[in-house]
């Protein structure tokens, strides 16, 4: 009898998760075994390394393989977020999606929420936002429990941020193109392909999703051959879509020299001196984080690849929020941009948006529609030529926040997608039942898309696939959800005619 029990236990381990009655779920990975935490019918694994710590001699190098470990590694605590800092040292970044201390350079970890009995379940890999400078997959808003509850294996990843993630310098001749953030994300996707079956996930049914910088990352990854075949569907929330060309190496290296000096590097530093700079000093150093990937990673620009139909040909769910312009407030750039905009352009924008448009509203609407809304519509039209696309606009404002806020801010939809309304960054009053009902509907649509590629939900309006002629948007309004056609058509046509890449 003892030998039979041992044989059964060994077989269960080989399949991945341990039996539900075990004290802690265990998964067998290609680097070793990990023990997570049982939370009802969900198995949670936190802080699993998907690449070697990018510290010391591995700083500013492509992600390396994880060193194998013996025994069972405990995976019950989140890994450290990457060092990060906002544009203004006086701003509390945790109110805008930043991670609290402690942070650390050893940050290439991920978290998994899995149904305890999962077998070949669909998978969702989440890339958090934060302008590529702040954020972490461990923030409560990104809790994957609701997805696991509904049959999805959810994976949230950390990746290198700021100057640790995008950096080139003349002294770093071994740094390749400097796009370590993107290479980290590709490494995480490869880890999922190799290991997700251990959690009951299907490596052939992976949806890659992200918001803000995470959404932009999804688009970037769709354009590189290095990520081809690693995901079968894509979700882009407030990710824009019109990308400038990658900078040349000389421009990126000049930016790196300025950043290194701001972080305390001596004149003409060696590679060793650069890699010895304190990570926090680099996180807080002023300057642009630039990379110049080689053509092996990106044969075309991101926008050029999509315009040519050379992106990953997978179903896409994409959309924007009505109040994306709140980013101008968070970055402190509203007043400088308003002051730098000439009277003639202000008048043109006031005419474009109609009566009641003040100069400030004109600048806000221009940012929202030129940076987010028009690119999303352009992407939907281009992408729909190769795969189904579903386009949305999120206008709903939490009823508890309505006195202070008139339009749905950048990132507001996240709390509905994840059903984490109780974990808003700014700690507002509790959500209403109407808000919870809408969150359940939106979450159900995202789950349906992950499972089937079609984001329809029970007892909710059908969401039509995008076509250029009918231009359908699913609008999550203040009172109801409905399909609308030709949303802001005149305004979006205006920006597309001026800024979209040529056909």
Give the separation between CA 168 and CA 149, rounded to whole angstroms.
Answer: 43
Give the separation between CA 40 and CA 146, rounded to whole angstroms.
Answer: 12
Beta bridge mates, 166: 179
CA dist 378 → 98, 372, 373, 441 (Å): 30, 10, 9, 26
- Among the listed residues 212, 238, 255, 292, the single catalytic one is 212
Give the separation between CA 214 and CA 155, rounded to whole angstroms.
Answer: 14
Give the separation between CA 62 and CA 178, rounded to whole angstroms.
Answer: 8
Q: State both tokens at 331.
A: 């970055």
Task: Classify 185 as helix, strand or coil.
Answer: helix
Peptide bond into 195 cis (omega under 30): no
- Among the listed residues 128, 169, 396, 410, the single catalytic one is 410
Give the separation between CA 443 and CA 455, rounded to whole angstroms.
Answer: 10
Beta bridge mates, 38: 43
Q: State both tokens at 300.
A: 């075309």
CA dist 268 → 55, 258, 479 (Å): 22, 11, 60
Instruction: Lay out the sheet containing 201-211: strands in order across.
Output: 37-39, 42-49, 109-115, 153-157, 121-127, 201-211, 233-237, 316-321, 389-394, 472-476, 481-485
212 is catalytic: yes
CA dist 474 → 21, 62, 226, 455 (Å): 43, 40, 32, 11
Beta bridge mates, 43: 38, 114
31 is catalytic: no
- Among the listed residues 211, 324, 395, 419, the single catalytic one is 324
Which residues are annotated as catalytic? 212, 324, 410
């Amino acid at each position: 009898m003892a030998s039979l029990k041992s044989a059964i236990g060994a077989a269960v381990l080989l399949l991945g998760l341990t039996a539900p009655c075990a004290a802690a779920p265990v998964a067998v990975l290609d680097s070793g075994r990990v023990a997570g935490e049982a939370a009802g019918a969900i198995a949670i694994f936190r802080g699993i390394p998907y690449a070697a710590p990018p510290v010391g001699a591995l700083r500013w190098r492509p992600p390396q393989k994880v060193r194998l470990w013996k025994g069972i590694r405990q995976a019950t605590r989140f890994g450290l977020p990457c060092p990060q800092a906002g544009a203004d040292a006086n701003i509390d970044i945790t109110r805008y999606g930043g991670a609290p201390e402690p942070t650390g350079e050893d940050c290439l970890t991920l978290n998994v929420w899995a149904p305890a009995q999962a077998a070949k379940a669909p998978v969702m890999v989440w890339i958090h936002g934060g302008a590529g400078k702040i954020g972490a997959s461990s923030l409560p808003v990104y809790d994957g429990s609701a997805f696991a509850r509904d049959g999805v294996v959810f994976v949230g990843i950390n990746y290198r941020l700021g100057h640790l993630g995008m950096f080139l310098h003349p002294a770093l001749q071994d740094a390749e193109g400097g796009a370590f953030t993107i290479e980290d994300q590709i490494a995480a996707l490869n880890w999922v392909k190799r290991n997700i079956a251990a959690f009951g996930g299907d490596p052939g049914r992976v949806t890659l999703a992200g918001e803000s910088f995470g959404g932009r990352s999804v688009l970037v990854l769709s354009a590189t051959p290095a990520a081809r075949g690693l995901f079968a569907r894509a979700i882009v929330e407030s990710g824009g879509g019109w990308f400038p060309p990658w900078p040349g190496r000389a421009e990126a290296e000049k930016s790196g020299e300025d950043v290194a000096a701001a972080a305390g590097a001596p004149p003409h530093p060696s590679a060793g001196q650069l890699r010895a700079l304190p990570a926090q000093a680099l996180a807080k150093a002023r300057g642009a984080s630039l990379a110049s990937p080689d053509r092996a990673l990106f044969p075309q620009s991101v926008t050029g690849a999509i315009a040519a139909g050379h992106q990953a040909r997978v179903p896409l769910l994409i959309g924007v929020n009505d109040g994306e312009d709140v980013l101008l407030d968070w970055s402190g750039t509203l007043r400088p941009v308003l002051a730098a905009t000439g009277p003639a352009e202000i008048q043109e924008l006031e005419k474009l948006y109609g009566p009641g448009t003040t100069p400030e509203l004109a600048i806000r609407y221009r940012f929202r529609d030129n940076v987010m809304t028009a690119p999303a519509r352009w992407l939907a039209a281009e992408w729909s030529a190769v795969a189904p696309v579903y386009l949305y606009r999120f206008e709903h404002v939490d009823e508890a926040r309505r006195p202070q806020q008139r339009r749905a801010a950048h990132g507001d939809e996240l709390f509905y997608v994840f059903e984490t309304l109780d974990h808003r960054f700014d700690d507002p009053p509790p959500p209403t039942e109407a808000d919870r009902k809408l969150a359940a509907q939106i979450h159900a649509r995202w789950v349906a898309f992950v499972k089937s590629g079609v984001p329809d939900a029970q007892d909710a309006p059908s969401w039509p696939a995008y076509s250029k002629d009918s231009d359908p948007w699913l609008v999550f309004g203040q009172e109801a959800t409905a399909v609308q056609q030709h949303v802001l058509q005149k305004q979006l046509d205006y920006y597309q005619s001026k800024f979209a890449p040529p056909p």
